[in-house]
């Protein structure tokens, strides 16, 4: 079997169980058809509050817990400082990764997250004479500037192939980063078909203790500014002031949680806003199936898996018209709105709540499994391996 080393900074961990869930699902599927080891590379910041990262929940990653469900994971870290060490994190990660790859003896390396993990993966793989595919996910190329953009460009240009999860990202890496389109491959995400499928809405609401007659809007994702959560709360307040049946659920966790809890606590609609925290996929599916409408008002996205999962459950989606979302959301399954516009968001949510949707048709439009993704990923790895061997 082909031996694949997966390098990534994101997998579910006890202090952030939703982190990198799509990488985890893909790795499980790939492990059924290839020999894989995941190298979970994370930056280790000083234990001082103001020196910790501000964009994600930080914590120590321990090896060997149940969240990884038997996957072969080597968790390690490298020392880092916010901002200061950014230009050097790729090289630091490569130094820690190289001896680990040497022991595993991979045929090919796949590094998810363009920088620093992509550059770490490329440099370490090439030091061993092995090919490397850099997997681009979204904000790792969409929101980069300055030093980060330069290092990201280096990672993509040095890679033997670049895998992206949407056509929008394919255009981004070719136009913004100068990557030859013949080296760019689109492999869109799948979803766990055994978890995300239509279920009876009344039963899901009863399980969650929600009113049977609620008009429920559900968000699932990281609680960070770029997900448009302030705009969502403003839109919800405007809607709920005139509709006593409207409820909102914010499912997830993140660095913005305390701010959101304060905003919710100050809202006259607080009793109708639910914040259950980060949940396992099965619980996420229950909230989605309890919803009337799913929403994702992000400022930027790659190919958000939670939208695919919501559509697979037959739920219509109101989302920002950014990134790969127009490749998923259409007139039959949802509404797209401008990002950062709470008025437009409120109007679209109202329209979606009032519309009679064909839920069976929405669900039928989503059929792609993680096994499909794994097969395409393995095919790309084998093609790259053969090309490099012939060079």
315 part of a folded domain: yes
CA 381 distance to own-chain centroid: 22
- Kindly report which listed range (63-77, 88-102, 372-386) carries the lowest average pLDDT score: 63-77
For residue range 209-220, list pLDDT tens digits in order.
999 999 999 999
pLDDT of residue 43 exceeding 90, the answer is no
**Are 166 and 213 found together in one domain?**
no
Question: What pLDDT sits at residue 65?
Answer: 64
**Are 182 and 214 found together in one domain?**
no
For residue range 64-86, list pLDDT tens digits in order.
567 788 899 999 998 887 767 78
Task: Give 44's pLDDT tier (boundaries 50, 70, 90).
Answer: confident
Residues 388, 391: Cα–Cα separation, whole Å: 5
**Are 308 and 377 found together in one domain?**
no
Containing structural domain, residue 28: 3-190+370-390
**Are 308 and 206 found together in one domain?**
yes
Residues 152, 65: Cα–Cα separation, whole Å: 31
CATH of the domain at 356: 3.40.50.2000
251 part of a folded domain: yes
Contacts of 379 (CB under 8 A, 6+ apart): none
**Are 136 and 45 found together in one domain?**
yes
**Are 135 and 95 found together in one domain?**
yes
Residues 201, 148: Cα–Cα separation, whole Å: 45
β-pair partners for 162: 134, 184
CA 191 distance to own-chain centroid: 12
pLDDT of residue 55 exceeding 60, the answer is no
**Are 139 and 215 found together in one domain?**
no
155 part of a folded domain: yes
Provide the angle, in degrees to the nearest 10, between the axes of the packed helices 257-266 and 229-240.
20
CA-nearest of 142, 274, 166 to 220 is 274
- Kindly report which listed range (14-23, 59-68, 340-349) carries the lowest average pLDDT score: 59-68
- DSSP H helices, the chain, are 21-30, 89-104, 119-127, 139-142, 146-158, 167-175, 201-208, 229-240, 257-266, 281-290, 305-312, 342-354, 359-364, 370-390
**Are 164 and 232 found together in one domain?**
no
Residues 280, 287: Cα–Cα separation, whole Å: 11
184 part of a folded domain: yes
Question: What pLDDT sits at residue 188?
Answer: 96
195 part of a folded domain: no
Task: Give 62's pLDDT tier (boundaries 50, 70, 90).
Answer: low
**Are 164 and 218 found together in one domain?**
no
Instruction: Tell me what the pLDDT averaged over the chain comes to.
Output: 93
329 part of a folded domain: yes
**Are 315 and 359 found together in one domain?**
yes
For residue range 103-151, list pLDDT tens digits in order.
999 999 999 999 999 999 999 999 999 999 999 999 999 989 888 999 9
Number of domains in the chain: 2
Torsion angle of alpha carbons 309, 11, 111, 161, nearest 10°? 0
Left, alpha or beta for 248 (phi > 0: left; psi -120 to 50: alpha)?
Answer: beta
Question: What pLDDT sits at residue 97?
Answer: 98
Q: Is 376 helix (H, G, I), strand (E, B) or coil?
A: helix
The token pair at 289 is 């199936």
Q: How many helices (H) and strands (E) does the chain have?
A: 14, 13
pLDDT of residue 170 exceeding 70, the answer is yes
267 part of a folded domain: yes
For residue range 315-335, list pLDDT tens digits in order.
999 999 999 999 999 999 999
**Are 11 and 118 found together in one domain?**
yes
Question: What pLDDT sits at residue 151?
Answer: 95
**Are 382 and 329 found together in one domain?**
no
Residues 342, 382: Cα–Cα separation, whole Å: 46
164 part of a folded domain: yes
């Amino acid at each position: 079997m082909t031996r694949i080393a997966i390098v990534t900074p994101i997998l579910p961990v006890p202090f952030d169980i939703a982190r990198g869930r799509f990488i985890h699902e893909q790795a499980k599927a790939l492990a059924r058809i290839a020999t894989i080891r995941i190298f979970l590379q994370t930056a280790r910041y000083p234990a001082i509050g103001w020196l910790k990262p501000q964009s994600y929940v930080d914590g120590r990653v321990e090896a060997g817990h149940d969240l990884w469900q038997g996957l072969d994971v080597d968790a390690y870290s490298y020392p880092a400082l916010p901002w200061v060490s950014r230009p050097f994190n790729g090289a630091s990660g490569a130094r820690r990764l190289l001896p680990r790859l040497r022991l595993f003896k991979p045929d090919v390396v796949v590094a998810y997250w363009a920088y620093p993990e992509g550059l770490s993966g490329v440099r370490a793989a090439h030091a061993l004479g092995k090919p490397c595919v850099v997997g681009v996910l979204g904000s790792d190329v969409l929101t980069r500037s300055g030093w980060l953009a330069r290092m990201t460009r280096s990672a993509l240009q040095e890679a033997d192939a670049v895998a992206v999860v949407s056509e929008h990202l394919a255009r981004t890496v070719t136009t913004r980063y100068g990557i030859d389109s013949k080296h760019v491959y689109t492999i869109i995400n799948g979803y766990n078909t055994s978890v995300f499928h239509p279920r009876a809405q009344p039963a899901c609401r009863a399980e969650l203790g929600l009113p049977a007659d609620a008009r429920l809007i559900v968000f699932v994702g990281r609680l960070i500014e770029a997900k448009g959560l302030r705009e969502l709360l403003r839109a919800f307040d405007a809607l709920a002031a005139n509709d006593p049946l409207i409820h909102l659920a914010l499912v997830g966790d993140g660095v913005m949680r305390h701010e959101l809890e304060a905003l919710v606590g100050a809202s006259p609609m607080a009793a109708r806003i639910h914040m259950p925290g980060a949940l396992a996929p099965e619980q996420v599916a229950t909230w989605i199936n309890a919803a009337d409408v799913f929403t994702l008002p992000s400022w930027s996205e790659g190919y958000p898996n939670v939208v695919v999962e919501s559509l697979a459950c037959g739920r219509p989606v109101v989302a920002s018209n950014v990134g790969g979302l127009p490749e998923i959301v259409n007139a039959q399954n949802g509404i797209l709105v401008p990002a950062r516009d709470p008025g437009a968001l409120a109007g679209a949510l109202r329209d979606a709540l009032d519309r009679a949707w064909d839920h069976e048709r929405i669900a039928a439009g989503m059929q792609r499994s993680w096994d499909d993704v794994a097969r395409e990923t393995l095919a790309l790895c084998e093609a790259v391996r053969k090309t490099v061997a012939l060079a």
